[in-house]
Amino acid sequence: MNKIIGKPLDRVDGRLKVTGEAPYTADVPIENLTYGVIFQSAIANGKIIHIDTSAAAAVPGVIDIVTYDQTPSLVKIPFFGPPQPQPTEKDDNIYFDGQHLGIVIAQTLEEAQTAASRVKIIYEEVSATVTVAEAEIFEPESIFFGIMPGKITRGDVESGKAQADVLVEQVYTTPMEHHNPLETSATIAIWEGENLTLYETTQGISSTQRAIASVLNIPQENVRVISKYLGGGFGCKALLRSHTILAAIASRQVKRPVKVVLTRSQMYTACGYRSQTQQQLTLGATNEGKLTVINHIGTSKTSLFDDFVEPVGAATTMMYACPNLEVKYRLARINAGTPTFMRGPGEATGMFALESAMDELAYALNIDPIELRLKNHADIDPHTGLPWSSKSLKECYQKGAEIFGWSQRNPVPCSMRDGYFLIGWGMASATFPTNAQTASVKIEIFATGEVRVKSGTQDIGTGTYTVMTQVASEVLGLPVQFELGDSNLPKAPITGNSMTVASVSPAVHKAAIAARDRIIQMAIVDANSLLYGSQAADITVESGQIFLKQDPSKRDTYTDILRRHGLESLEVTEETSISPESKQYAKHSFGAIFVEVAVDELLGEIKVRRCVGVYSAGRILNFKTARSQVVGGITWGIGMALMEKTVMDTNQGRIVGANLSDYLIPVHADIPNMEVQFVEEHDAYVNALGTKSLGELPIVGVAAAISNAVYHATGKRIRDLPITPDKLL
């Protein structure tokens, strides 16, 4: 049998990327190309009185200028569940600084940039609402596109508080954060008659196809979306954005292809962000450490025209066994664009609060933090009452503690030193739901020996090309070429919510089995085959050979079988979706993160010295790409804990420092050695391969673990991220 699944193979697209040959969206060569540059509002609140484009139109090379009042109204954009609305383009109100107001199209990028800078906009400005204190606050009935209720309760919170011997009641805050993928968003729009082709930086080619067709009021089949390579997404490329719509409108108007590439600063206003949160958290427990109450109230910011909530209580409802719980959400309307998904939306922010509070409770009870978590381990999903499809969180705690050396920890704050550095150890739990959607895959086996596996999924840098190749190759016993990133391919879901592997790999597996079995059937009914008359169950495949298990001398090949049947190729298409049986189980991935920090007692500088992360995420298809995902997630968690914060000028409603010089993210020098381990699970209920979510899991809990370690080192509890020296001194 071909043992390929699980091996730490190099990325199949790695060479193309490191040599610069991989054609990212902005690199695609297009004939007769023009360049579009977006111009934006320079105020955060008010009304447009007039847009003067005469000076811009006079710039040599300018072809056309499209302003907001020349475009069709933007409708609610279909994505997933009830769609996300955006401001109507014909609306002359300004809702936030950086709002897209039009596009300049020119022969060269430089000409378009010059012209865009000469567009004059006259406003009637109104003071902007930026802070929660001055904002309208309300409690939504439902959140996250209507998927989750705005309030979740079980038991009686007041009764739970009364039963508690110890209460922890604190407020935890996280700032606005931005995604900062390496590749900024880009699009190339090309019209051929009534048909539109978009080369697009998107995490969802099919959802983008559906959305742009809806906005432009054209049939979906008239739109083709192509996204072969993506330089990161993390949520900011999940939804259709107005720069893509403007590019499509501009291209149709000038009757030439139009390329738009957002600048780094435009990424801060045009593609969403993670909202600032304020979380009131109450934990109550008996002296023995059993939780009696959890009360989690999250307040986040949203735009004036949409209700996007950062679901900080998503993990709170299911993480620990507790009879009395309330999770409630509040929204504050401000003059900013609408927030969006950002790696671990809700879990990353909410688990900072929950896992920090659990550490505070452990100290209040004089119980080891791991012991407290084990005392409240949820053996079933306390939110739904369903059994877990699989859960190895206890094993993650045990393995992580052993590797880290947790038993050697002196729990007393300020008790561990290394010269003038205060040393702290902290840990936290991690969790993320395992989701999946319907996915289709086509496999073509050619008489030449070539095999193509096709699915309309995306690879946003996570290794989809590689792991899908491994799945198909193991079943077929042949080298294969995996094709993705084209809406003309069989449909697959958006690459988000950590569900690509759990959605697409079962479909690849099913299609590969179907193709292999058809070839075997062709052989056993072929009198010219050495396998003629054999039973299919007695036949296996390896290295392009199809042979009897008991007598390998009786063999055949894919190519010979196809040629004898007069076929140039064999084509199989299969689809997988969530089974009814799977819906009877709660499906989550889990993990435990352990960190050591060193705090300079004179300067307050914090350095993460080492990390140990242990995760249970079902079957691991490729250890190398999986580890890469974990390293990336932990790195992001370190940035979240110690560096990342988007600052808004509260007077102007404008983001300050919308660049990578002022918005700090970790670099190699900031990142310690990481020990990454997996607790492999056999999960028979998630899908045929037993694959679960991983991509977003490793960011969860990292900020809390670092915060807990900082407290252990210094005796100072910082509940406001990021943890910076000024907050310690």
Q: Which of 189, 349, 265, 174 is nearest to 701 (CA)?
A: 349
CB of 181 within 8 A of CB of 263? no
What whole-number distance in Å separates Cα of residue 581 and Cα of residue 363?
42
CA dihedral 242, 248, 249, 255 (to 10 degrees): 160
Please count the CA atoms within 13 angstroms of the CA of 352 that sit on its side-chain side.
34
Q: Which of 335, 353, 274 is nearest to 309 (CA)?
A: 274
CB of 594 within 8 A of CB of 404? yes
Q: Cα 514–517–520 angle (5° rounding)? A: 155
Q: Which of 579, 453, 448 is nearest to 516 (CA)?
A: 453
For 125, the enclosing helix (H) or strand (E) is strand 120-125
What whole-number distance in Å separates Cα of residue 500 and Cα of residue 100?
31
Structure tokens of 436? 């999946």
What whole-number distance in Å separates Cα of residue 311 and Cα of residue 351?
11
Can you say whether residue 153 is alpha, beta or left, with left for phi > 0 and alpha for psi between -120 and 50 degrees?
A: beta
CB of 439 within 8 A of CB of 454? no
Q: Which residues pair with 47 in a beta bridge?
A: 93, 124
CB of 24 within 8 A of CB of 229? yes
Q: Cα 691–695–700 angle (5° rounding)? A: 115
3-class SS of residue 297: strand
E strand map for 402-438 = 416-418, 421-433
Please count the CA atoms within 13 angstroms of the CA of 141 that sit on its side-chain side.
0
Can you say whether residue 715 is alpha, beta or left, with left for phi > 0 and alpha for psi between -120 and 50 degrees?
A: left
How many helices (H) does the chain have, and how many strands (E)? Answer: 17, 32
Amino acid symbol at 448 = T
What whole-number distance in Å separates Cα of residue 450 and Cα of residue 118?
54
Q: Which residues are catalytic?
A: 696
What whole-number distance in Å separates Cα of residue 91 and Cα of residue 70?
11
What whole-number distance in Å separates Cα of residue 83 and Cα of residue 462?
26
